[in-house]
Amino acid sequence: MKKWVFIVILLVLLYLVSLVVAFFAFNNNSKSFGDKIMIVPLEGAITTSGNGDLFGGSSGISSTEVVKLINDLNKDESVKGVVFEINSPGGTVVASQEIGDAIKKLNKTNYAVIREVGASGGYWIASATDKIYSSPMSITGSIGVLGSYLEFSGLFEKYGVDYEQLVSGKYKDTGTPFKDLDEDERRLLQSKINLIHEYFVKEVANNRGLTVEEVSKLATGEFYLGQEAVGLGLVDEFGDVDVAVENMKTELNLTKVDVQRHFKDIGLLDILGGRIFYAMGRGVGDSLVSYELSNNFEIRA
């Protein structure tokens, strides 16, 4: 019996030691002296708080965290340039705008590198940088806005379930899944989507030095491969992170520079909650997280 108790205690101690090691391993944003170029990975769906995973951690891109990081980099005089490594299908409108606005206020040379995907809100963010690199096969563009919701009224009718509407405003329950949209509600929601779409187009046009008319022709929601995007003015050059860093060194005339990759700070509570173990084992398919406008009606870029 004592032998089993000893084994259990030993396993617990080993587990606690592994947590401490993981804590320091995942918080390895090293401090250094001299000039730096920072690589900032932006991977996953874009939301204001990050898309919470099943274990209570955070996956995806949190605009709150990214904006804070950009502000911190802005204050760090040793940081001479920033490369945003983007792999995102998009996300919420507000979060994409927040990150794009923060990048435009960044007083450092900054590039975007689109790896597999930099579409919709991901492209919005990329367009805010000084220069965009991609692979010829990267998925870019997809300039458009999507509004969607589930509707169960037909199912309710089949099973004899009624939806009783008690609201204080005519459009308060617009987008509820329990009834079909009438034409007036449909026009209302479409008008909101159109306004967001116009804003998105203007932002890309302003960021990329294109006319609104030029971007409008491309803003059909279609995605473009990198080799198409270069010809359309949506991407500047082909290249990966290494190419972007080398070109940034040349542009800034830097001979001695420390290239650092930023890692998200991980707390012990995140580790205890399973965040790291989930991150190790999760698949590559991140769900698109949507912006809730009303009830379950969702808008995303």
Q: Regarding the domain delimited by 12-143+219-291, which CATH topology (the fold level of the hierarchy) does it fall under?
A: 2-enoyl-CoA Hydratase; Chain A, domain 1 (3.90.226)
Task: Rounding to the nearest 10 degrees, give the CA dihedral for residues 249, 109, 127, 71.
Answer: 130
Any idea which residue has 């209302």 for tokens? 188
pLDDT tens digits along 133-145:
999 999 999 998 8
pLDDT of 34 reads 80
Mean pLDDT computed over 16-36: 57
* Residue spans per domain, the chain: 12-143+219-291
Nearest C-alpha neighbor of 119 from the set 213, 40, 42: 42
Q: Is 192 a catalytic residue?
A: no
Q: Which range among 212-216, 252-256, 276-280 has the greatest average pLDDT? A: 212-216
> What pTM was estimated for this model as a whole?
0.76
Q: Which of 120, 135, 138, 290 is catalytic?
A: 120
| Predicted confidence (pLDDT) per residue in 31-75, tens digit | 556 899 999 999 999 999 875 443 334 478 999 999 999 999 999
pLDDT-above-70 percentage for the chain = 71
| Residues 140, 119 contacting (CB under 8 angstroms) | yes
Amino acid 188: pLDDT: 87
List pLDDT tens digits, range 105-119: 999 999 999 999 999
pLDDT of residue 274: 46
Is 88 among the residues known to form the active site?
no
Q: Which of 68, 105, 170, 172 is catalytic?
A: 172
